[in-house]
Structure 1
Amino acid sequence: MMHSCRWSLLSLGVLGMGICTVPAHAAPPDTAPTALVTILEAIETASNEQDIESVMAFYADGFTNNDGFDRTTLQATLPQLWERYESLNYRVELQSWEEIDGNYVAETVTYIDGTQTTPRRINLESVIRSRQQFQGNQITSQEILSERNQLSSETPPQEVVVILPERVAPSESYGFDAIVQEPLGERYLLGAALDEGTTAEDFFTPRPLDLELLSAGGLFKVGDAPKDADNLWVSGLLVREDGLVVITRRLRVE
């Protein structure tokens, strides 16, 4: 049993991520008010310092997230994740903002890089786009819009090209390809793919992964979206004799 790469929770301590265009009614980041910029910088600093009290001060008591995390869940689990990494660095970029009834709505991109050395060296790279609503200097709600995550035992990591749509309709089939760019030569390549929910309950549930010998240089899987609107984590694990890589993408079903 092992966990797939579930790292969107890491972004909650710092806001979400991904590159995007400015929404029709939102303003570009260079026009953002000083108050909003100051809040985002303070959240980034507190997250890099792994100061849970300072981070949580920016989340309202009634905070909600589209993956089912609330303020209590976030406060309990962020320190557990921080403990896994000897180093963990956050960088937040404001993508767009708007003011509604005296409060801010901000779309951000968070970049996370980390290194874990026990039981083996693993490098984390994560990019998450999210939209959060503020009331005063506190976040009242957050929606993760997109995310891409990679865990790798190699430095630099093996180059893998991932093909997955960002969103599909309910009940629609979708393809997930994770293709290793470097020629395998005489080396074997093992792999497994799975999809799972993005709720708080799913975050803590281990999933079995049955590795299979891959005849080609990557994973090529077809999945079926659930019947109702949802978010899925779609993950691929690739293992060679000289290292492994786990890649996760968010798939929106809507």
Structure 2
Amino acid sequence: MKFQKLSTTLFSSLLLCLTVSSGIVLSPNLTLAQDRDKTPDELTELLKKIDRAASRQNLDNVMDFYSNDFTNSDGLNRESLEEALSKFWQLYQSVKYRTEVKSWETDGDAIVAETVTYITGIQEMKDRNITLKSTITSKQRYEDQKIVEQEILAERSQLTSGKNPPTINVNLPVEVEVGEKYNFDVIVAEPLGEQIMLGAAWEEPINENSYNLDPANFQLELLPSGGIFKIGGAIENSQDRWLSAVLMRKGGITISTYRLKVLDK
């Protein structure tokens, strides 16, 4: 059984790491606050403005915050980032962003800030709506009030559709070393009873080609145990991976994607 129509939207959620979580512009003369738990008012107000601009899907406004020499840890540059965002916003007509600062510091004239962005969205289709929830943690470097470099630290996204989509719990390490095996468990929280549950899980490396929004092809299988339990093989290089799972029952569908950081030994 192929389930390509909804899977086409899966990878659109993975583009969210490239929006407001990267859209912070700080004054070059801003220094570390004495109280590290307090975010400067200047930054707080700026984040609100950026969140509003991204929620309105103003692509030109968002891209104004990026240097022409922008690079990120997945291999994207400014041009490919803009193209990816444009495709994503064509799919999701309603998206809301909320960004928080975890930490910030100065590095000479540059600013380095770690942020967490929470995103919700709805994709309207003829026979169903798809609801998106995503959380992205990233670190940016700013020079001359432009973002020049970005690293995605953590990422999780979930798509749901239907009146009663499965509620799931995911067990996956945040990071592994090259050559290390890992467990990827996707467990249905509710008792199945007499219900039939179908599902699938897969892994893929993350690079600039991952953002082309190509449909995912996968084979749904019967899940008699109420979840998906996989042991990931040893990863041969330090390229991050996306771990994804889809679970479907009569009442709805849930698709979850998590980023697995892969570190050199």
TM-score, normalised with respect to structure 1: 0.89
| AA aligned opposite 1:96 | S
- Check whether the contact 1:235–1:246 (CA below 8 A) recurs between aligned residues: yes
Equivalent in 108, 122, 130 of residue 122 of structure 1: 130
Q: Deviations over 1:203-222 (max 9, x none)?
A: 32443201110111111111
Mapped partners of 1:249, 1:12: distance in 2:
15
Matched residue of 1:253: which SS?
A: strand
What secondary structure does 1:219 align onto?
strand
Q: Give secondary structure in 1 for the equivalent of 2:173.
A: coil
Equivalent residue number for residue 223 of structure 1: 232
| AA partner of residue 246 (structure 1) | I
2:10 paired residue number: 5
- Unpaired runs of at least 5, structure 1: 17-24
CA distance in 1, matches of 2:184, 2:163: 25
What secondary structure does 1:209 align onto?
Answer: coil
Q: CA RMSD in A?
A: 2.0
1:246 aligned onto 2:251 = no
For the structure 1 residues 116 and 73, does the alpha-carbon distance in structure 2 shift closer, same or farther, using more than 3 Å as the test?
A: same
Contact 1:4–1:207 under 8 Å retained in 2 = no
Q: Distance in 1 between matches of 2:259 and 2:9?
A: 12
| Residue in structure 2 matched with residue 59 of structure 1 by the alignment | 66
Match of 2:179 in 1: 171
* 1:110 equivalent in alignment to 2:129: no
Aligned counterparts of 2:85 and 2:124: Cα–Cα separation in 1:
19
* Distance across 2 between alignment mates of 1:172 and 1:143: 22
Amino acid at match of 1:5: L
**Contact 1:237 1:244 (C-alpha < 8 Å) held by counterparts:** yes
Mean Cα displacement is larger for which, 2-11 or 115-124? 2-11
Partners of 2:141 and 2:132 in 1: CA distance: 28
Map 1:121-160 to 2 at 5 A: 121-154=129-162, 157-160=165-168
Does the 8 Å CA contact 2:16/2:134 hold for their aligned counterparts?
no
Paired with 1:51 and 1:146, the residues of 2 have a C-alpha distance of 25
Separation in 2 of the partners of 1:188 and 1:147? 30
**1:171-250 equivalence runs, <5 A:** 171-204=179-212, 205-250=214-259
The one-character-per-residue Cα deviations of 1:147-187 (angstroms, maximum 9, x if unpaired) are 11100014575321100011111121111111111111111
Partner of 1:19: none
What SS does the aligned partner of 2:158 have?
strand
The letter for the 1-side match of 2:81 is L
CA distance in structure 2 between the partners assigned to 1:31 and 1:234 by the alignment: 33
What's the secondary structure of 2:240's corresponding residue?
A: strand
Q: Which runs of 5+ in 2 are unaligned?
A: 23-31
- 2:52 matched to which residue of 1? 45
Identity of aligned residues (%): 41
Match of 2:28 in 1: none
Q: 1: CA distance between counterparts of 2:46 and 2:72?
A: 19
Residue 69 of structure 1: aligned partner:
76
How many residue pairs match? The answer is: 245
